[in-house]
Chain A
């Protein structure tokens, strides 16, 4: 496992806020030269600590007004039904994330839709029709924030 110091933490903090920053600008913030910063960013990327970038989009402005989290309990549990469910659910474009969890539910899904009517269509026609789906709980997302995490 990779060992990080305070400077690495500073670099990660800066890039998790704005991944488009140039190495020179990141370096200025953590007090390092451009080449030294670039080497550290490369090391963090090679070690898999920086796992890529994601766009921060205003989903509502793009016409996606509703995000719903679904807790899904499978009615039948066998290796085949898990694999079938995972394959079928992952193929639905509105389903953004699929997590296998331990606890009250078997899967946790993040579903994005244009509005509640559109969400209902996805739920009824695409999700509830999957053969192994049992109990489903829905929670509509009101707000969301990503935190910097334990970086120094």
Chain B
């Protein structure tokens, strides 16, 4: 299982994922060979699933980001699956989450401007199946964004 050294290695990797192996091993105070070995083990065991490039949509002209909090009509047992499958087909949906709580699902939708957003909302979102209610939160600013785990 995971020990403190694995956590330390992941903590340093998480802080700077692109860093060369040598720098990572040194930061985690490990010999290079054992840093390699531990990282490989974390990958094969599925703890470290991979590294993804983060795309800054604003730099591509997507100025609008809206969180749509959706309540589904749960009288239909297929509601979740059919809703999620249809939401995956909307390119402007960049994140899909499901919840236990007051809302069932949340879609993060991006658009170049409000006019385009309105069009996506009307033509694509409102046509998704089994929606009982939608609430929109418009994102104004990100104060903190560390997808990091407090390892």
Contact = CB atoms under 8 A, between A and B. Distances in A.
B47 A149 contact: no
Interface string A54-92: 111111011010000101000000000000001001100
Interface in B29-70: 45-57, 59-62, 67
Interface stretch (A31-39, A95-103, A125-133): A95-103
Interface string B108-151: 00100000000000000000000000011111111111111111
Interface of A: 1-2, 4, 12, 15-20, 47-59, 61-62, 64, 69, 71, 86, 89-90, 93-105, 107-108, 112, 137-151
Interface residues of B, number: 58
Nearest to A138: B101
A94 to B, nearest CB: 6
B17 A55 contact: yes
Given A51-B59, A146-B52, 9 more contacts: A18-B50, A53-B51, A54-B17, A54-B51, A62-B149, A69-B99, A98-B144, A99-B140, A99-B141
Give the interface centre of B46, B103, B136, B150 by most chain A CB atoms within 10 Å.
B150
B99 A142 contact: yes
A94 B10 CA distance: 17
Contacts of B74: none
A103 B138 contact: yes
A140 B52 contact: no
Given A137-B102, A139-B100, A100 B141 contact: yes
